[in-house]
Amino acid sequence: MKIITLHKPVNQNELFEHLQKRLNPIFKEQKQSNINFIISNTPDGIEITQPELYEGVLFNISVQGPQLHITRNEHYVDDINSITVESILNSLFDDISDGLGTDLVQEG
């Protein structure tokens, strides 16, 4: 699990809307690909999936006040699409922090 601090409390619905609006367009621009990820707002957090290519949830993001607890599917850690999504997520987390930046608290 990776834990990122946003330096401000974030609402799960706000984060979900931001990811839903920006993740796929940025991915398509960076990868020149027609892959669309499904972003779901669940009671356990925000889930990112792509069932046509990957079994199970690629990323689960649980909002804990100013922290995001991010679980990544261990079967796809070396997959280029998964790595690209993680990079985009980091950029989008920075966006939603209102310029306050982010800190990596834990990765493992």
pLDDT per residue as tens, the chain (108 positions): 899 888 888 889 999 999 999 999 999 999 998 999 999 999 999 999 999 999 999 999 999 988 899 999 988 877 899 999 999 998 998 888 766 667 666 565
pLDDT at 75: 86
- The answer to whether the beta carbons of residues 5 and 103 sit under 8 Å apart is yes
The one-letter amino acid at 8: K
pLDDT at 76: 83
Strands (E), 7-76: 38-42, 45-49, 57-64, 67-72
Give the separation between CA 38 and CA 72, rounded to whole angstroms: 15
Give the separation between CA 98 and CA 108, rounded to whole angstroms: 26
Q: Which stretch of DSSP H or E encloses residue 1?
A: none
Q: Is the entire prediction scored with pTM above 0.85?
A: yes
